[in-house]
Amino acid sequence: MEQAIACQSQHGAVTLRAESVPFSELPGQSRLFLDYQKDPASLKRYYPNAVNSLNELAARVPLVLENHVADRGILCDALAETNAKFGAGVRTFENIELLRSSDCVAVVTGQQAGLFTGPLYTVYKALSAIKQAECLRQQGINAVPVFWVATEDHDFEEVSRTYVIGRRGDLVESMTEPKHCHENLPVGYIKLDETIGPNIEDLAESLLPTEFTSEVKDLLEDCWKPGEYFGDAFGKMLTRLVGDRGLIILCPLNQKLKELAAPIYVEAIKRSAEIVTALRQRSDDLVNDGYVAQVLVSDDYFPVFWQASDDTRNALKTTASGTVRKKDGSREFTLDELAEIAATDPIRFSPSVVLRSVVQDYILPTVCYFGGAAEIAYFAQSGEVYRLLGRPVTPIIHRQSFTFVESKHSKTLRKYDLRLTDLFEGLETLLPQIVEGHLNSDSAKIFEDVEEQIKIQLDKLDRELTTIDASLSENLAKRRRKIIYHIDALRHKFHNVQVRKDDVIRQQIESLFTSLLPHKHLQERSLNIAYFMNRYGFNFVDWIHNSIDLDDKSHRVIYL
């Protein structure tokens, strides 16, 4: 089913065209995710508060408010402090004030602090939460959108690079490596250095010059400056992109928020053994039901990390004697000692992946969380942590998922009778179809005729040799395979030569794959929003917002 989407650009009204592709038609999707998208209620064992329709969220509000015990004053003071630092506007501060009210809930999402906001799906998450908060407000429910920036994560390699499409239609990597970035520091404690300026310069230079290039470059330079903390630069840019819609950004490194989370840390430490046992059982249950456990939980797993005095983030492991030791063996604690530290100095702790959502939903009155497929899988396990810590499990909803197709690529798709899903077969598989169907059907027909004639003649020879000596027929069978192999190899070379002969066509096809399937994955997992803003201006963020259909659980292909 196609849908027309009305938008505005700097040059007037534009209409985008949307079509939906079920995730079941996209490769690499886990069975758990597909089953959850199809019928969340059928997986109540793993997602006890799952909703089939977003209309069901309103009924959850009383339960959320009843179970939210964190001090809203402290929470909102911390949020006001953070968002002021990021340069937030009036609507964000209005939402922070609204969150102080005891009847207000939060629509939450989050992501790692990626370079220049990282892949496109970061912005899709933010706008999904914003859209759902708007929907709840229309129903008379006080709701605000909150984005949890995972500044506690210490895998800088994962967030240090992003990609745009260069002026030659190639995929261009942009990355930064400031000092101390590989020393187990949370990304929120890593400072940008003087190399960020050349990084931005190179990215801007790689883009096809447009009327928006200088504006995009100015945005990057305003947010990503030497001496700025990496997480703060991310927060500033995300605020510039979507903050005018009232998004509240939360940084969990804020000391006030750590203090709010202290009771959960204490309880998780005291019940760590139960948590590990329950998680391991849940992993077994998932596997027995034909699914895959997203998080590997070993016997020595511990649900919190230790934040050392040098700001490094260190894994903790349980020992055979019941104590807890830093992974490098440099320090050892009893559970009582750790619990006492968590109560008095919670800045020393950060949650593991299965505890993070529980901490988040203890601090915030979360009515729902928008996440990706991997996060949905995490929730199948972390639901046990919610249960053990006496918290209601938050419903998780898949964020909106898009592939934006520029007009030149739409023409290429139409020209060769292709859909997005066809590209997953790979260029090598599609090449014969493109060549033989559109570029040189006469030569392709000759190959077909030759192959058919060879088969006929070899069959005739086989019958003759069989009457003379069976071993001759067996020998022919081996040589037949070689003959067919060489014909196929020649045909493959014909395909490549035919494409190379027409440089325009070759560039069209390669550019199509680069734009729609970079790194052989969905566009949203690699490309940075800077590319599209350079092409279409800052209105592109509005185009994303207008393209969101929260009732559509499919991947949405948007034709520009």
Q: What is the pLDDT of residue 170?
A: 94
The residue ranking higher by pLDDT, 456 or 112, is 112
Q: What is the pLDDT of residue 455?
A: 81
Q: Are 63 and 392 in contact (CB under 8 A)?
A: yes
User: Which of these ranges, 2-6, 23-27, 546-550, has the smallest mean pLDDT?
Assistant: 2-6
Average pLDDT for 438-463? 70
Task: Name the CA radius of gyration of the chain, rounded.
Answer: 28
Q: What is the pLDDT of residue 130?
A: 98
Residue 399 has pLDDT above 60, yes or no: yes
Cα 285–chain centre separation? 26
96-105: pLDDT as tens digits: 999 999 999 9
Average pLDDT for 459-484? 79
Q: What is the pLDDT of residue 446?
A: 64
Q: What is the pLDDT of residue 427?
A: 79
263-322: pLDDT as tens digits: 999 999 999 999 999 999 999 999 999 999 988 899 999 999 999 989 999 999 999 999
Average pLDDT for 350-367? 97
Q: Are 105 and 99 in contact (CB under 8 A)?
A: no
DSSP state of 436: I
Q: What is the pLDDT of residue 436?
A: 62
Contacts 24+ apart (CB under 8 A), 98-103: 98/142, 98/144, 99/72, 99/75, 99/144, 99/248, 99/365, 100/72, 100/73, 100/76, 101/72, 101/142, 102/65, 102/72, 103/65, 103/142
The residue ranking higher by pLDDT, 497 or 88, is 88
Q: What is the pLDDT of residue 438?
A: 57
Q: What is the pLDDT of residue 502?
A: 64
Q: What is the pLDDT of residue 374?
A: 94
Residue 490 has pLDDT above 80, yes or no: no
Q: What is the pLDDT of residue 428?
A: 76
Q: Which residues pair with 304 in a beta bridge?
A: 351
pLDDT band at 460 (very low <50, low <70, confident <90, very high): confident
Residue 486 has pLDDT above 80, yes or no: no
Q: What is the pLDDT of residue 277?
A: 96
Average pLDDT for 37-55? 95
Average pLDDT for 518-534? 97
- Identify residue 85 by its one-letter amino acid code: K
- Identify residue 96 by its one-letter amino acid code: I
pLDDT band at 471 (very low <50, low <70, confident <90, very high): confident
Residue with the two structure tokens 């758990």: 32
218-255: pLDDT as tens digits: 999 999 999 999 999 999 999 999 999 999 999 999 99
DSSP state of 229: B
What's the CA gap between 360 and 366, in Å, rounded?
Answer: 8
What's the CA gap between 419 and 557, in Å, rounded?
Answer: 10
DSSP 142-209: -EEEEEEE-TT---HHHHSEEEEE-TTS-EEEEE---TTTTSS--GGGPBP-TTHHHHHHHHHHHSPP
Q: What is the mean pLDDT of the chain?
A: 92
Residues in Cβ contact with 127 at an 8 Å cutoff, skipping those fewer than 6 apart: 242, 245, 400, 541, 544, 545, 548
Q: Are 37 and 18 in contact (CB under 8 A)?
A: no
> Is pTM, for the whole model, over 0.85?
yes
